[in-house]
Structure 1
Amino acid sequence: CASVEEHPFALFHRVGFRVCLNTDDRLMSDTSMTNELETATRAFNLGLVDLEKMTMNAMKSAFIDHYKRIEIIHKRLLPSYATLFAELTERAFADSLRHRASA
Structure 2
Amino acid sequence: MAISQNSTKEALARAYGQLGNWIGVFTSSGEASGGTPAYTRVQTTWTEGGDDGIIVGSQVEIDLQAGTYTHVGIFNAQTGGTLIDKKAIDAKKLDGQGKLLITPTYTQS
TM-score relative to the length of structure 1:
0.24
Say which one has the larger Rg: 1
Of Structure 1 and Structure 2, the greater helix share is in 1
TM-score relative to the length of structure 2:
0.23
